[in-house]
Amino acid sequence: MSACRDTQRALDAYVDGELDASHVLHVEEHLVECSACLERVELARAMKRAIRSESRSVAAPASLRARIAISAASERAAEVEEARPPRAPSWRSALPWAAAAAIAIGIGGGVGAMGDRHGGSTAPKSELLASAASLHLIEDLAGPHAQPLPPEELDPVRIARVFSPIVGVPVRPVRLHHERHGSFSFTGARLLNVSHEPAASLTYNAGDRRVTVVVFDPQRMPKPSCCLSRRTINAGGEERTVFVGRAKGYALAVYERDGVGYAVSSDLGENEVLAMAADL
Amino acid sequence: MVLRETRRAPDPARQFEENVLAHLDGMYAVARRLTRDATVAEDLVHDATIKALKAREQFEAGTNFKAWLLRILTNTFINGYRRGGLERATFESAHDNGDPIADGWISAATMRSMREPEEEALRPVLRAELSRAVDELPDEFRIAIVLCDVEEMSYKEIADAMGTPIGTVMSRIHRGRKILQQKLQHHAIAAGLIREQPDDASNVVPLAARRAAR
Ligand SMILES: [Zn+2]
């Protein structure tokens, strides 16, 4: 009885190989004569093995390897830049475009462009494919706000230098204002995938209010036509098309400006994100 | 330019990166377990990998490289990927109430029927259930068990990764396994593998009494 208790107390350490030799001997002497404790050990081992084999049946996806390769290459490039401060910024030539192309999978043939700039040339194969792609796009664009992850970078200079070549468009933290909530402070940026393409999310907050701006290359994304409504707003004297609606429980406004795609999501209302879209 | 680079002595940063990438499958497997979500697991492994690359100067040559990587992964998970610290307080107390079944008095016959006859493996129907049960474990128990069982890290390495004393790791592994066993037992009964009722007092009779009865 007491030998059983001792064995049970040592059971985890025994099956995990953490028990020292003299105790192992002690346990094994008991296991020879006690089938109940042997049974406990066998079950613990069987469970351990099952957890291991069930868990190790997955391999890291190729897209993850590619994404890490891109980030690692840009880190190396940034380290080289920092080691040689007087050089003019030359990330366009220094960064791994070939690596960036590796994750440019796209969705089917439906990589239509947002806005009218590229309309027609890369039209989606079918309406269904287009709306499926568009639905995923919207979920991806709203995702970083709905499930925020820790930022990778805070320094605006490094963000512009490191993130821009990966995303394919300039990535810069902007000044974000709201008439009622005042000035939003920038809390950081990180890279993510939107429709299997690299994009950057910039996060802001004012008190407990959060705003996430996803910056992406609209040429690589399908048009967010489904699920969002198309509005034309006045942005500093010029007309701008904005797709606005709700996704993952948050207000979302998606638009293109000067060849850069923006998706503004917030726990504020649709009118507020629309107003921010007009300001940005 | 590229050609000349490949002929030179290997760049230490690149070499280090290759060493890290060699462990990517293992890190991803652990991350899937920790986050319970394929997409979040990718984000976690990405962040941890980049952190490891940036911290390469801090790796002490001669120490366990994989354990070092998993420590960064675990840290990144604990510090950035969990929604608040509420879970810990609730679960640690909830599972600490001395339930006799959770404390391990499952009969030898029951335990035997959970394994394949004459084999060391768990019955296939229970393997999927076990996987689910691991997912449902509180973070602290799940982290300790995953690092221990999936990656075979030592208690010391797990303690370093989780930032806790070894004793805490041991108690988390022990209690986590008891919860898993209990769930498996309930499932085995539901699946008709065993007929015994877990709450039946005859099933929790100490061993000495069972022997005397023979
Ligand atoms: Zn015994």
Q: Provide the pLDDT confidence category of residue B102 given band limits of 50, 70 and 90.
A: very low
Residue B164: per-residue pLDDT = 93
Residue A76: per-residue pLDDT = 76
Give the residue-averaged pLDDT of B94-107: 48
Q: Provide the pLDDT confidence category of residue A37 given band limits of 50, 70 and 90.
A: very high
A274 and A165, same domain (yes or no): yes
Task: Flag whether A148 is in a domain.
Answer: yes
Q: How far is the CA of B93 from the centre of ligand 1 (A)?
A: 29
Q: Which residues of B touch A44 (CB under 8 A)?
A: 177
Note whether B143 contacts A: Cβ–Cβ < 8 A.
Answer: no
Q: Provide the pLDDT confidence category of residue A83 given band limits of 50, 70 and 90.
A: low
Residue B203: per-residue pLDDT = 43
Q: How far is the CA of A206 from the centre of ligand 1 (A)?
A: 62
Pairwise CA distance, residues A238 & A119, whole Å: 20
pLDDT digits (tens, 9 = 90+) for B15-48: 888 899 999 999 999 999 999 999 999 999 999 9
Q: Which residues of A touch B30 (CB under 8 A)?
A: 55
A255 and A165, same domain (yes or no): yes
Between B112, B145, B207, which is nearest A4 by CB? B207
Pairwise CA distance, residues A33 & A30, whole Å: 5
pLDDT at A89 over 70: no
Contact B108 A35 (CB under 8 A): yes
- Of residues B173 and A280, more confidence is placed in B173
Task: Flag whether A92 is in a domain.
Answer: yes
Here the CATH number for the domain that contains residue A156 is: 3.30.200.100
Note whether B184 contacts A: Cβ–Cβ < 8 A.
Answer: yes
pLDDT at A90 over 60: no
Note whether B120 contacts A: Cβ–Cβ < 8 A.
Answer: yes
pLDDT at B79 over 90: no
A192 and A263, same domain (yes or no): yes
Q: Kindly provide the b/e burial profile for residues B113-131, where b requires at least 16 CB atoms within 10 angstroms of the residue's own CB.
A: bbbeeeeeebbeebbebbb
A230 and A106, same domain (yes or no): no
For the ranges A146-150, A240-244, B54-58, the maximum mean pLDDT occurs at B54-58
Rounded mean pLDDT of chain B? 79
Contact B120 A149 (CB under 8 A): no
A114 and A160, same domain (yes or no): no
Between A42, A55, A192, which is nearest B33 by CB? A55
Note whether B167 contacts A: Cβ–Cβ < 8 A.
Answer: no
Q: Is 3.90.780.10 the CATH number for B86-213?
A: no
Q: How far is the CA of A2 from the centre of ligand 1 (A)?
A: 8
pLDDT digits (tens, 9 = 90+) for B130-160: 999 999 999 999 999 999 999 999 999 999 9
Q: Please name the residue of chain A whose CA is at the shortest distance from the CA of residue B13.
A: A76
Topology of the domain comprising B12-80: Rna Polymerase Sigma Factor; Chain: A (1.10.1740)
Q: How far is the CA of A29 from the centre of ligand 1 (A)?
A: 10
Rounded mean pLDDT of chain A? 76
Note whether B133 contacts A: Cβ–Cβ < 8 A.
Answer: no
Between A39, A47, A65, which is nearest B108 by CB? A39
Q: Which residues of A touch B18 (CB under 8 A)?
A: none
Note whether B29 contacts A: Cβ–Cβ < 8 A.
Answer: yes
CB contacts under 8 A, B 58-117 vs A, are: 79-81, 104, 107-108, 111-112, 114-115
Residue B86: per-residue pLDDT = 36
A57 and A179, same domain (yes or no): no
pLDDT at A72 over 60: yes
Give the residue-averaged pLDDT of A20-27: 92
**Whole-model pTM?**
0.58
How close, in Å, is residue A109 to chain B by CA atoms? 23
Where in chain B are the domains?
Answer: 12-80, 86-213
Give the residue-averaged pLDDT of A148-156: 85
Stated as kind and residue range, the H or E segment containing A25 is helix A21-33
Q: Which of A56, A91, A121 is the last residue of a domain?
A: A121
pLDDT digits (tens, 9 = 90+) for A155-204: 888 888 888 888 888 898 887 777 777 888 888 999 888 877 889 999 99
Q: What is the 3-state secondary structure (H, E, C) of chain B?
A: CHHHHHHCCCCHHHHHHHHHHCCHHHHHHHHHHHHCCHHHHHHHHHHHHHHHHHCHHHCCCCCCHHHHHHHHHHHHHHHHHCCCCHHHHHHHHHCCCCCCCCCCCCCHHHHHHCECCCCCCECHHHHHHHHHHHHHCCHHHHHHHHHHHCCCCCHHHHHHHHCCCHHHHHHHHHHHHHHHHHHHHHHHHHCCCCCCCCCCHHHHCCHHHHHHHC
Say how many domains are in chain A: 2
pLDDT at B69 over 60: yes
What are the residues facing A184 on neighbouring strands?
A176
Contact A55 B32 (CB under 8 A): yes
A272 and A151, same domain (yes or no): yes
A106 and A170, same domain (yes or no): no
Q: What residue numbers bound the domain in which A265 lies?
A: 143-279
Between A59, A79, A149, which is nearest B25 by CB? A59
Give the mutation candidate from A6, A9, A54 for the B interface (greatest B CB count, under 10 A): A54
Residue B167: per-residue pLDDT = 94
ipTM of the complex: 0.80
pLDDT at A143 over 50: yes
Pairwise CA distance, residues B80 & A146, whole Å: 15
Q: For chains A and B, what is the number of CB pairs under 8 angstroms?
A: 143
Q: Provide the pLDDT confidence category of residue A256 given band limits of 50, 70 and 90.
A: confident
Surrounding ion ligand 1 within 5 Å at CB are A 4, 34, 37
